[in-house]
Chain A
Amino acid sequence: GEDVEQSLFLSVREGDSSVINCTYTDSSSTYLYWYKQEPGAGLQLLTYIFSNMDMKQDQRLTVLLNKKDKHLSLRIADTQTGDSAIYFCAETAGGGNKLTFGTGTQLKVEL
């Protein structure tokens, strides 16, 4: 079956880097995504990476993909209090834009 796993919680100090990890099982996934969910809101796409890439950088965000180990990570540089949210990784499942979401990681940024 398709399982996307993440650790449940991460706490960092403001200004530090955050690294959120994800493992997935479907090696045929074409794209992998990171979504952010702020309190009381829906999920919002943060970034994505194509499966033939190892790394993608987008301002403070760096996505690393280790396809051999089926491991995806999201690094947030200079983490701010506004980054406090739940972060979901997701993989394409079965073609089209149907996604399998991870369990979500709650990031708490402390002053």
Chain B
Amino acid sequence: DARVTQTPRHKVTEMGQEVTMRCQPILGHNTVFWYRQTMMQGLELLAYFRNRAPLDDSGMPKDRFSAEMPDATLATLKIQPSEPRDSAVYFCASGPDRVIDTQYFGPGTRLTVL
């Protein structure tokens, strides 16, 4: 049963620290998405990759956030420096890049910045 995995599942850190979240997409999926979910803003798309190339990161605060795919089995989302307003659940999703197909979500990383 193929699944998207995310690590860590929970992260508590202090303001100003660097945070790195990792995602392993489902083998064979060539699109990867990063989302942020908060009570106030709902589900926001942060970044979108196809074949490891970033296609859309317009939803991501560029000054502190960065998203990369070092290889096809790993996607990372970094926040440096972190701020309390970054506290949220961050989801990674992957999928085959076809309209008929959809996205498969990981369990999320719950980030708390004190």
Contacts and interface: CB of A to CB of B under 8 A. Distances in A.
Interface of A: 30-31, 33, 40-45, 48, 88, 92, 95-99, 101, 103-104
Interface of B: 4, 31, 33, 42-43, 45, 48, 50, 56, 91, 93, 95-108
Contact of B104 (A31, A45, A48, A98): A45
16 contacts: A40-B107, A42-B4, A42-B91, A42-B93, A43-B43, A44-B105, A45-B102, A45-B103, A48-B102, A96-B97, A96-B99, A97-B96, A97-B97, A97-B101, A98-B33, A101-B43
A104 B107 contact: no
Contacts of B33: 98
Given A42-B93, A48-B102, A97-B101, 5 more contacts: A42-B106, A96-B99, A97-B97, A97-B98, A97-B99
Contacts of B98: 96-97
A31 B42 contact: no
